[in-house]
């Protein structure tokens, strides 16, 4: 089946279309595919719940806020920054030790600062050097690589690696393997997975924010765990153990929510408004019918 087509309409005219690949996996098998289930792309920030498995194992008394922010791509809202600070305190670390770049003069305000704070906490617990924790070859990144390889069912040596926008290692997988990873996450098949899912689903707005695809999917489908990534990636794990992944072929993040809503039957987001700089609604994004 062809990828989902998401039309961008303005004034009754479809001025562009995005192609979104969508794959669903249950019990290890592909049960639905719109596009290419073997398409290889980087998980980017969709990997954060998997990367956070290490920190929840080391700190069983983490609050939901601390766990959720370790999995988050946040918008620097006050409650999100407070959660990052709390997680940093677990590592007896300072903002200056975060190895993500500054945003508006603050590393705390970087949307990946919660993930980085969690990584520092793992280093503190395991006695690993904090400097260069973000780099390939550091024990932390080697441990995360092994974790993701295990949950996705791919040999670590066969996984293409690169550098993410915040400086840490990012991982490329076929879409069906990403979907499998989120199916296993949703089913609690790795130590710490149930804790990750419970915190993310309890605090979906902390994980991303209103209007962001992962947050809106979790709000619309109670019990579903979801995380988006740069270049138009969205991974979803459903309570029944189904894992899903959506990937915009052209990297257009705006197309992912209506595509996911189309597959998941979330009518509230089947169409997404396009606003201009005045806040006026001037168009719509919508997934076209199969």
Q: Are strands 233-237 and 4-10 parallel, antiparallel or unpaired?
A: unpaired
Other residues' Cβ atoms within 10 Å of the Cβ of residue 26: 18
On the 0-12 / 13-18 / 19+ scale of CB atoms within 10 A, 219 is middle
pTM: 0.96
Q: Tokens for 249, please give them.
A: 């072929």
Integer CA distances (angstroms), 214 to 57, 105, 177, 180, 258, in order? 24, 27, 19, 17, 12
CATH topology of domain 4-287: Beta-lactamase (3.40.710)
pLDDT tens-digit profile, the chain (290 residues): 899 999 999 999 999 999 999 999 999 999 999 999 999 999 999 999 999 999 999 999 999 999 999 999 999 999 999 999 999 999 999 999 999 999 999 999 999 999 999 999 999 999 999 999 999 999 999 999 999 999 999 999 999 999 999 999 999 999 999 999 999 999 999 999 999 999 999 999 999 999 999 999 999 999 999 999 999 999 999 999 999 999 999 999 999 999 999 999 999 998 999 999 999 999 999 998 76
What is the domain partition of the chain in residue ranges? 4-287
Torsion sign over Cα 243, 249, 251, 256: negative
């Amino acid at each position: 089946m062809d990828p989902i087509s998401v039309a961008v309409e303005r004034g009754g005219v479809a001025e562009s279309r995005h192609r979104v690949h969508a794959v669903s996996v249950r019990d290890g098998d592909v049960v639905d595919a719109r596009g290419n289930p073997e398409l290889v792309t980087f998980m980017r920030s969709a990997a954060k719940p998997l990367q956070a498995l290490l920190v929840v194992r080391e700190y069983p008394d983490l609050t939901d806020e601390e766990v959720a922010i370790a999995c988050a791509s946040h918008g620097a809202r006050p409650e999100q920054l407070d959660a990052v600070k709390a997680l940093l305190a677990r590592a007896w670390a300072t903002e200056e030790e975060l190895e993500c770049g500054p945003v508006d003069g603050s590393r705390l305000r970087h949307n990946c600062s919660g993930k980085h704070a969690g990584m520092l906490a793992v280093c503190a617990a395991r006695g690993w050097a904090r400097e260069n924790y973000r780099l390939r070859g550091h024990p932390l990144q080697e441990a995360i690589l092994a974790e993701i390889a295990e949950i996705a069912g791919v040999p670590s040596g066969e996984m293409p690696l690169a550098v993410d926008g915040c400086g840490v290692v990012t991982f490329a997988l076929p879409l069906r393997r990403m979907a499998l990873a989120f199916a296993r996450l949703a089913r609690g098949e790795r130590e710490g997975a149930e804790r990750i899912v419970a915190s993310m689903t309890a605090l979906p707005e902390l994980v991303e924010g209103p209007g962001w695809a992962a947050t809106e999917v979790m709000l619309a489908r109670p019990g579903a765990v979801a995380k988006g990534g740069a270049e138009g990636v969205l991974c979803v794990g459903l309570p029944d153990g189904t894992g899903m992944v959506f990937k915009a072929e052209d990297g257009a993040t705006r197309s992912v929510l209506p595509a996911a809503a189309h597959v998941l039957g979330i009518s509230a987001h089947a169409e997404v408004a396009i606003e201009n700089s005045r806040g006026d609604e001037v168009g719509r994004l919508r997934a076209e019918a199969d």
